[in-house]
Amino acid sequence: MHHSFRLLLLLLTVLPGITAPLAQEKLNSLSFLTEEYPPFNFTRDGKVQGIAVDLLLSAAALEGQSISHESIRVYPWTRAYAMALRGHNMVLFSTTRTAERESLFHWVGPIAPMRIVLIAPRQRHIRINSLADLKDKRIGVVTNDIGEEVLAQLGLADQLQSNASADLLLKMMARGRIDLWAYEETVAKWLIKESGMSFDDFEVVYLLRDAELYYAFSRDVPEALRVQLQHALDTLKTPLADATSGWATITQKYLQ
């Protein structure tokens, strides 16, 4: 009897210490980092929004949790990427998942498919049939972006003009200061339209890589939180009775 009583006291003492960390494992305890990468994540009227933002907030709500727009911080990609690599309890999005980055983060997604392409002014009549055709081309890339990584791996590092601003690279291409711009196709089209130009004046001349966008979690984030978000994302992608899904509704909202 005395032994059972002492065991009960011990369990009452130890269990709170075990269960407390689990109770504290909430998605809103993480730091969310993103960049201007429309339509996936961008700022308008001082509010961060986009496909990846809406998916994140909707997924948290499915798990009975709340993530505020204000808790998502927007930085230039180079800074956000460095913070996610070195920081604790970080989530970086939207991040292209590649073999080279695989071991640097834990991954939740995918958010959406994407295409890394080379874009040129249509009036230049640039034709790229193989990588050999790139040998004399000046190519603009966003620093630490997947486009820069792919082209550097192909041995073209000396031809790259790197800048933290995708908007500046677009202007450089329009003014003939670079021949090609390596970027995600959907995002590039959005930025061209937002700049007041027409994509009819440009063209995709080469596909560098098909890939997918993910939420990249710093490796110290508890597995339970990654599982929560992955489960909720999978639920959002599940077709409803009308054959649509939460993921499709959110995506179409920005791609119409």
Tens of pLDDT, residues 186-230: 999 999 999 999 999 999 999 999 999 999 999 999 999 999 999
Same domain membership, residue 126 and residue 108: no
Please provide the size of the chain in residues.
256
Same domain membership, residue 127 and residue 73: no
Same domain membership, residue 217 and residue 102: yes
The amino acid sitting at 246 is: G
What is the total count of domains within the chain?
Answer: 2
Burial annotation 59-97 (CB, 10 A radius, 16+ → b, else e): bbeebebebeeeebeebbbbebbebbbeeeebbbbbbbb
Residue whose entry in the numeric block shows the structure tokens 């210490």:
17
Strand runs labelled E in the chain: 31-34, 42-44, 47-49, 72-74, 90-96, 106-121, 139-142, 160-163, 180-184, 202-217
Q: What is the mean pLDDT of the chain?
A: 91
Residue range of the domain that includes 42:
2-113+213-255
Same domain membership, residue 89 and residue 205: no
Same domain membership, residue 232 and residue 109: yes
CA 191 to the chain's CA centroid: 16
Cis peptide before 76 (omega within 30 of 0): no
CA 124 to the chain's CA centroid: 31
Same domain membership, residue 7 and residue 45: yes
Q: What is the mean pLDDT of residues 222-246?
A: 94
Same domain membership, residue 233 and residue 141: no
Same domain membership, residue 18 and residue 70: yes
Q: Could you tell me the pLDDT band of residue 102, with boundaries at 50, 70 and 90?
A: very high
Q: Could you tell me the pLDDT band of residue 4, with boundaries at 50, 70 and 90?
A: very low
Same domain membership, residue 129 and residue 177: yes
pLDDT value, residue 24: 54
CA 23 to the chain's CA centroid: 28
Same domain membership, residue 218 and residue 92: yes
